[in-house]
Amino acid sequence: MGVEEAKRIVMKSFANTARRFGQSELLGYIYGALFFSDEPLSLAEIAEITGYSLSHVSSAMKVLEGVGLVQRVKKPGDRKAYFVATKSFGEWRSAAFYSRLLRDVEETRENLLRALKELEGEEEKDAERIREKLEKALRRNETARKLLAFLMRFRDEEELLKALERCLEG
C-alpha cells in the first residue's frame, strides 16, 4: 500500500497546485499519471488512470502541452499519440515555454511603450498618474525579461541551482 499511497499523495498535491492556479484539478492528475509512468501513455490510458472522460483528458492535455509540462511522442508503427511528462528543467526549457514567455514579455513592452507615446504632451493629472504606472510596469517587464534570459542560459537544473545559490549568497 505504501507505493500507491505515495503516488496518491503526490498526484493530489499536483491537483491542488493546478486548482490554486485557477485550473482544473485534472491537469494535476494527468501530470501525476505521466510523472510516475515509466512509459509514454495514450489518452485512453490516462483517462483510465485518472477516471476522467477521454474528451476531458484530451482538452486538459492541450493546456499541459501549451505550457510545456507534457510532450507528445510517437511510438514506431503506432498512429496513436502518446504523452510523457516533462521531468527536468532542461526538457521544460526546451519545450518552447520560455520562448513564448519571452515573446509575451516583449509584446507587453512594446505595448507599454506605445501607450507611453500616446501620453506625450499630455499634462493633466490623470495622464501623469497613468504615465507613472506605465513606467513602473516597464521596470517590472525589464526585470521579467532579465530573469527569463538568466533562466534560459542553463541546460540543467543542477547548473541553475548552483547559479541561484551563488546569487543568494552574494
pLDDT per residue as tens digits for the range 129-164 = 999 999 999 999 999 999 888 877 777 778 888 988
- Residue 40: which pLDDT band, with cuts at 50, 70 and 90? very high
Residue of higher predicted confidence among 38 and 88: 38
Mean pLDDT, residues 112-132: 90
Please, is 29 exposed, middle or buried when counting C-beta atoms within 10 Å of its C-beta (0-12, 13-18, 19+)?
buried
- Residue 87: which pLDDT band, with cuts at 50, 70 and 90? low
- Residue 102: which pLDDT band, with cuts at 50, 70 and 90? confident
Please tell me the distance from the alpha carbon of residue 13 to that of residue 3, in angstroms, as a whole number: 15
- Amino acid making up residue 16: N
Mean pLDDT, residues 106-126: 90
Fold of 2-87: Arc Repressor Mutant, subunit A (1.10.10)
Return all residues near 86 (Cβ < 8 A) that are at least 6 apart. Answer: 68, 69, 70, 71, 92, 95
Return all residues near 108 (Cβ < 8 A) that are at least 6 apart. Answer: 137, 141
Cα torsion 111, 112, 114, 115 to 10°: value is: 120
Spell out the domain ranges in the chain. 2-87, 93-169
Q: What is the pLDDT of residue 88?
A: 60
Q: What is the pLDDT of residue 1?
A: 62
Residue matched to cell numbers 533562466? 151
Cα torsion 20, 22, 26, 29 to 10°: value is: -30
Q: What is the mean pLDDT of the chain?
A: 87
Q: State which of 64-73, 80-89, 110-119 shows the largest mean pLDDT.
A: 110-119
Q: What is the pLDDT of residue 91?
A: 59
Long-range (24+ apart) CB contacts under 8 A made by 58-65 are 60/24, 60/26, 60/27, 60/30, 61/30, 63/23, 63/27, 64/27, 64/30, 64/31
